[in-house]
Structure 1
Amino acid sequence: MNTLLSIETRNAVLLKMAKLLEQERQEIISINKTDLEAYKGDDISMFDRLKVDDFKVDEMIKSVTHLASQEDPVGVERFSFKHDNGMQVYNKTASFGTVLIIYESRPDVTVEAAGIAFKSGNKILLKGGKESLKSNLKIVELWHQALEEQGASTDWVEYLQFNRTETQAFLEKPTQKVDLIVPRGGERLIAFVKEHATCPVIISGRGNNFVYVHKDADLDIAIDVIMNGKSKISACNAVDKILIDKNLADKATFVNRLIAKLKEANIEVLGDASISKNHEVEVITSDDIWYKEFLDYKILIGEIASNQDTIAMINKYSGGHSSVIVTTNNDEAKMFMENVDTAAVYHNASTRFTDGGQLGLGGELAISTDKLHQRGPIGLQHLVTNKWYVHGNGQTR
């Protein structure tokens, strides 16, 4: 069993990791090129996530450096109580123990998510996808170097080179203690982990995010929020669905302007029956497409009767991730925000802010669409459980 590392050691490992990433920058990028060249799939968002360039290395360095500057999330007192019998009772945060992160194609997860789990006092098991194997192994080598230099066991970060069958067997009957599993990837990966795991899983759910353009919208804001929401198609916080209030003044002009902007950005535009009847876009053949997360240069525009109908529509079809109302009417915004059942709700701002770094957490392990034990971006301060500390001098009940 690994005894909890002191916060000084954990921080020193993270800062050493930042130095090593800088030192090995070119090596990481060139190893990643071999992964990119070997990738034979046709999933553009997978390819985008797989790529490591200078910007990605900068982000990795920024992430571990920032983590090292944050307060220790372990041992934080959440509650205290003095019992009538003189016992002193505390409830404090505690690390989970061992966290398994299963992910696809993103070598930066090997730094950022592992860093968060490590800082919060956990042993890390990493199971990356085969498409990023060489990049991941290089980064794990750096983790081991950083740990060894601080006199810590390399067991704190372990890479599992399992194929799908071995992964399934490990999920069903782990050969070592696993306290929490975090799947990072598409819906198929998440469903696979949920089906086979025997311990708690933090579900980093699908996106399929909606923007509602209310009848009192500022139309320039609406265009900006939609275009920004579609600026990174591989992100789970990307926008896929637009609902236009049928009472919007000069609706046809606005929709034409929006479609022109989207097409200029090479985004394929689909429409429901009423939108496609009045505008030159492909009509959808089934309502099932409202459920679909695109992860592609594709967007669907529909017409809606009211805020009430919008809330019902989003609560039925969205992935529970992020949703936006664009309006100048604060009462309508309040109604939307209180009743839409997504982890993040926005008024006149882009869904692209659903991200741990952007929402002030410094980084994230995942974006959870579950309601227990934390919803939305899971930061350092959420990756803990808790424990009761009771101090007595012989009390019995």
Structure 2
Amino acid sequence: MHTEHTEHTEHDWITTHLTADLLRGALDLERTEHGLLPHRLPARARAQNTNAQLAMAEAQPSGVRLAFRTAATAIELDTLRTKRDYAGFPPRPDGLYDLIVDGRPAGQAAGTGGNVLTVDLATWDGEVTPGPVGTVRFTGLDAGDKDVEIWLPHNETTELVALRTNAPVAPVSDRGRRVWLHHGSSISHGSDAASPTAIWPAIAASRGGVELINLGLGGSAMLDPFTARAMRDTPADLISVKMGINIVNQDAMRLRAFTPAVHGFLDTIREGHPDTPLLLVSPIHCAIHEDTPGPTAPDVSALGEGRLDFAAMGDPAEKAAGKLTLGVIRDELSRLVRQRAADDPNLHYLDGLELYGASDAAELPLPDHVHPDAATHRRIGERFGDLAFAEGGAFAERPRG
């Protein structure tokens, strides 16, 4: 890392070269023509992927943040974002950058400029309209040395172009906090959360006092072997896997294939983390798929009214042929953990209905019948924090030595 002084009309700016030691939550960094693109899957995994949805999801920096120590009172970050919109719908809200100073919220800014990916919901094809580099600014910070984090938008691909401050920047030293590695679906990715620190894994991580690596991948928690290998090879003190909804959404497996795939996914993680606390989490309540198999598709009548809602397209009678519902998956994951626990005392199970159940759905319904809103993200994050990190929980602090 090096810094260089540049002239500016408002501040005596210092431009800091962006390097891996200033970033947390990414598994890989790609140098592009514009700057630095954080990835949440390593290059080997990306090379084995052929799915455009996963390619987009893993390049959206959910849980990724710049982290540095500085006395700066002003910060500018240039980025080139790619924002996703839907054809025929109003533009989606701009992605947000959350500023955290010494562990406390200290500001928020919306992204500007950038590319726009317009997706046709009828075909899921996308078209990119190029745009310019944008700048987010945070000013009026207290003087004096402080730990600063800038959480990148969880739902926009974000290339980091330049970091400017009016005082030198240094990497944050290891704070000795445990690292929590989590994998899940778009709900873990943060779909419809208010901001990057308001996705439920970030809320839970804050509650548990841990460092988050979030492999919540929208539409892509599919028991992919390359994701399991990425988790196997990533240093972590705590690991969780939230599994089920995407398998049902895409009608990707029958029970015959699902059970061995879960075993294989866990086996691969255990190759690199034989004794690490490992928590398997089943799906939260989703009324359309509790007893009805997938696939899931946009509700045509809602699209005609300008709303994005989802509907289950399967037939409950198909469960007899091995089609998966959320109820079937919860029963199977619970049984599987009980089976494995005899040889793996550090494997734990959390029923997703404890995070968000039918009574929660009556109070805080899923707006599009699949994804939680901001209030529900907070509820899930707080409950996960209380259940997993509390005394007796799967992630409770253990005596060292």
TM over 0.5: no
Q: Which has the higher contact order (CA 8 A, sep 6+)?
A: 1
Larger Cα Rg: Structure 1 or Structure 2? 1
Higher helix content, 1 or 2: 1
Higher strand content, 1 or 2: 2
TM-score (norm 2): 0.31
